[in-house]
Structure 1
Amino acid sequence: MQVAVDLPNDFVGMLTQDVVAREMRMTYALALFKDARVTLAKAAELAGMNIYEFIAVCKVQRIPVIDISRDELVQEMQSIGRTQ
Structure 2
Amino acid sequence: MNTFQITYSNMNVPVYREEEDLYVVTLPGKTLYLLRREDNEGAAHWFEEGSDNETPETKEIGIAIEQAVMGSVENGK
- TM-score normalised over the length of structure 2: 0.31
More helix by share: 1
RCO higher in 1 or 2 (8 Å CA, sep ≥ 6)? 2
